[in-house]
Amino acid sequence: MWPLLGIAVVVAGFAARLNPLLVIAAAAAATCWAAGLSPHAMIAGFGHAFAESRLVSIAFLALPVIGLLERYGLQERARTLIARLKGATAGRLLLAYFLLRQLAAATGVSFGGQVQMVRPLLAPMAEGAAEAQVGELTPAQRFRLRAHAAAAENIGVFFGEDIFIAIGSILLIKAYLESNHILVEPFALSVWAIPTALLAALIHGTRLLLIDRRLRREKKSSAPKPDSRAP
C-alpha cells in the first residue's frame, strides 16, 4: 500500500492549503521513495510528462489578443451591450451560454474557453446584466457571478462533449474495452452520454435561474427599511 503515500500527501497538502506546487513536488518525491524509484528516474519521468503536456497551456496563447482588446474597452462594451438587451438577466444569460456550450461540445464545435470567452465576454456580461437588474453589485456578488460564469463553461463542456464521437474520453473507453476483448463502436458509447447530458441541463439550468432570484432577494434585504419608530 506504500505507493498510496503520494495520494495522502496530495490530500493533506491541499487540505492544509499549502502552495500546490510544493505539494506536487512532495507527493512526487514520496511516491518515488515508496516505490523504490531513483531520483534520476523520477525527475526524468516528471520532465517527460511536463514537456508532453505543454498542449494544456496553449490556451494562454490568446492572452495578448484578449489583453489588447481589454485595453480598448472590450469588457466595458460587453457590459453595455448586455445591459441594453431587454429581459436579459444574469441567470438567463448564463443559462443561454451554458446550453449553447453544451450543444457545441456535443456536436464537436470548438467554441468557448475560459481565456477566450469567459474572462473577456461572459463574466463582464453577467455582471452587466445583474447591474441592470439590481443596480450596484457588492464585491461578493460580483465574485459569485464570475465563478458561475467559469462553472457554466466547465459543466457545459463536460456534459456535452461525450456525445461527440471523436472526443478523447470516448476513444479512451473504446481502446480500453478493446484491450479487454470487448469490441464497441464509438457511436454506441456516445448515445449513453445523452441521458446524463439532459440531467445536467436540468440540474444546472435550474441552479442558474435561481441566481436571479437570489440577487433580487439580496437587494430587498439590503434596501433601507422604513423607519419603524415613525407614528
Partner 1 sequence: MITLEHIYILSGAFLAFYAVLSARDRTNPKRFGNAAFWGLLAASFLFGSHLSDFANGLVAIALIAAGGLGLMHKGAAATTSEAARRESAQAHGNWLFAPVLIVPLVALAGTLFLKNSGLADPKQATLVFLGLGTVIALGICYAWLRPPFLAPLEEGRRLIDTIGWTAVLPQMLASLGAVFALGGVGGAVGTLATHYLPLGTPFAAVVFYSLGMAALTAVMGNAFAAFPVMTAGIGLPLIVHRFGGDPVAMSAIGMLSGFCGTLTTPMAANFNLVPAALLELPDRNAVIKAQLPTALLLLAANTGLMAALVYRF
- Name the residue nearer to partner 1 (CB basis): 52 or 227: 52
> Which of residues 100, 146, 209, 218 is near partner 1 by CB under 8 A?
146
Other C-beta atoms lying within 10 Å of the C-beta of residue 115: 16
Rule CB under 8 A: is residue 141 a binding residue for partner 1?
no
Q: Which is nearer to partner 1, 96 or 109 (CB)?
A: 109
Q: What is the DSSP string of 134-163?
A: HSSPPHHHHHHHHHHHHHHHHHHHHHHHTT
Q: Which is nearer to partner 1, 53 or 228 (CB)?
A: 53
Which of 74, 82, 95, 105 touches partner 1 by CB under 8 A? Answer: 74
Neighbours of 112 (CB within 10 A): 20
Residues contacting residue 19 through CB under 8 Å, at least 6 positions apart: none
- The rounded Cα 83 to chain-centroid distance in angstroms is 24
Tell me the number of residues near partner 1 by CB under 8 A. 113
Contact 72, 120 (CB under 8 A): no
Q: Which three cell numbers stand for residue 156?
A: 457545459
The residue within the footprint of partner 1, chosen from 12, 138, 184, 213 (CB under 8 A), is: 184
Among 100, 115, 165, 209, binds partner 1 (CB under 8 A): 115
Please, what is the minimum distance in Å from the beta carbon of residue 89 to partner 1? 17
Contact pick of 38, 86, 136, 180 for partner 1 (by CB under 8 A): 180
Interaction mask 149-168, partner 1, x per CB under 8 A: xxx-xxx--xx--x-----x
Instruction: State the alpha helices, DSSP H only, in the chain.
Output: 5-15, 20-35, 39-52, 63-71, 74-84, 90-106, 123-134, 139-161, 168-179, 186-191, 193-222
Q: Which residue, chain included where needed, has cell 435550474?
A: 206
The DSSP result for 191-211, as a single string, is HTHHHHHHHHHHHHHHHHHHH
Q: Which of 41, 96, 138, 216 binds partner 1 (CB under 8 A)?
A: 41
Of 46, 83, 85, 219, the residue at the interface with partner 1 (CB under 8 A) is: 46
Q: How far is the CB of 70 from partner 1 (least distance, A)?
A: 7
* 16 binds partner 1, rule: CB under 8 A: no
